[in-house]
Amino acid sequence: MPAVITPLLAVFGIMLIGTFVQKSKLLPAETDQVLNQYVYYIAFPAIMLITLAQTPINDILHWGYIAGFSGAMLISYVITFIISLWLSPAQNALASMRALNATFGNTAFIGIPLMAMLFPGNQSALAAAAIASLLSVLIFAITLVSLEIIGRNKQGSALIIISLALIKNPIVVGSMVGIGLSALTVALPESIALIIRQLGMTSSPCALFAIGMVLAKSAQYQTSSHIISLKQLTEISAINIIKLVFQPLITYLIMLGLNIDPQLIAMGVILAALPTAASVYLLAQRYHIQVITSAQGILLGTLLTFISLPLLEAYLLH
C-alpha cells in the first residue's frame, strides 16, 4: 500500500468524525467556528513559528522552491480568473472565488501532517509545508482584499490594503517571527519551545475535525432537491483538474527547470497537489459566493486525492 494512503486515511477519518459529530449534534452547532478560530489565531501560528524557528535559514530560503511553488499558484489563479470572466462576464467576485478554489491548497492542515508522515524526522519537509502555507496565505489575502473592494466599492491603494491585511494575519506574523528567529540563530528556551510546539501540534486534528463539521453544515445552504446539479459537477470538476493536475504539473516543470533538489521537488509537487482548503468555504460563506460549490469542490477534491497522491508518490519518491 502506498505510504501516502495512511496519512490520507487519517485525514479523511478525522473529517468523517467531525461530520458525524455535527450530524448527531453531540456538540454545539457553533463548535466548528470556535475550532477554526482557535486553529487560525493560536495553533497554526504556533506550529509555523516553531517549525521555522528551528529550521536553519538556508533550508527555509530555497528561492527556486519558492519561485516554483508561488509561480504555479499565480499561473493557476490568473488562468482560472480569466476563464471565469470569459464564461461569466463582469462577475469579478465570482471569478475571484473560483480562482481561489483552484489555487488555495490545504498545505497547512493537511500538508504539515502529510509531510511529517512521508518524510519522518526531516525538518526540511515541515519547513517546505510551512513556506507553502505562507505563500498560500498571500493568495488568500489578495482574494480577500479583492472581494472587499468589489463588495464595498472601496477606493485606495490595493497594495496598502493587502499589506494591512497581511500585517494583521496571525499566520503571517507567526511565520515572520519564526523566520526572524532562524535568521538570527536565536534558540528559544526548551520549556517555551515545548509549549509552542504542543499548541501547534493541535492544529491539524482540530482543523480536520472542523472541516468535517463545516461540510456537514453546508447542506443547509442547498436550495436544489438534487444533491448536485450537472452545472455544479462540471464546475467543481474543472476547478479540481486545475488544482490537482495543472498546478502540480506547473510546479514540477518550474522546479525542474530551476534544477531544484529532487526531494524538494517531490515535497513541492505533493503540496501543490493537495485539495482546496476549507478556509475557502468559510470565505465563500462570509461573502455568499459559491457557498455550495466550494463545499462540494473541497469534498470531491479530498476524495480524488486518494487516487492522485499515491500516483504522485509512486512517481516522485520511488
* Distance in angstroms (rounded) separating the CA atoms of residues 188 and 34: 29
228 has pLDDT over 70: no
66 has pLDDT over 70: yes
Residues 73-126 pLDDT 10s = 999 999 999 999 999 887 888 999 999 999 999 887 778 778 888 888 887 888
Rounding to the nearest 10 degrees, give the CA dihedral for residues 12, 293, 214, 176: 80
**What is the reported pLDDT for 57?**
84
Residues 135-148 pLDDT 10s = 887 888 778 777 77
At 154 the three-state DSSP class reads coil
Q: What is the DSSP string of 237-291?
A: HHHHHIIIIIHHHHHHHHHHHTT--HHHHHHHHHHHTSPBPHHHHHHHHHHTSSH
* Distance in angstroms (rounded) separating the CA atoms of residues 20 and 111: 23
Residues 155-173 pLDDT 10s = 556 667 667 766 777 877 8
Residues 289-310 pLDDT 10s = 887 788 788 888 988 988 998 8
**What is the reported pLDDT for 67?**
94
Mean pLDDT of the chain: 84
**What is the reported pLDDT for 316?**
85
* Distance in angstroms (rounded) separating the CA atoms of residues 19 and 107: 21
Residue 276 — φ and ψ, nearest 5°?
A: -60, 140
Residues 202-211 pLDDT 10s = 877 887 788 7
CA 108 to chain centroid: 6
Tell if the pTM clears 0.85, that is, is over it.
no
In contact, 260 and 68? CB cutoff 8 Å: yes
224 has pLDDT over 80: no
- In this structure, what C-alpha cell is assigned to residue 103? 489555487
152 has pLDDT over 70: no
Residues 38-58 pLDDT 10s = 887 898 889 888 888 888 888
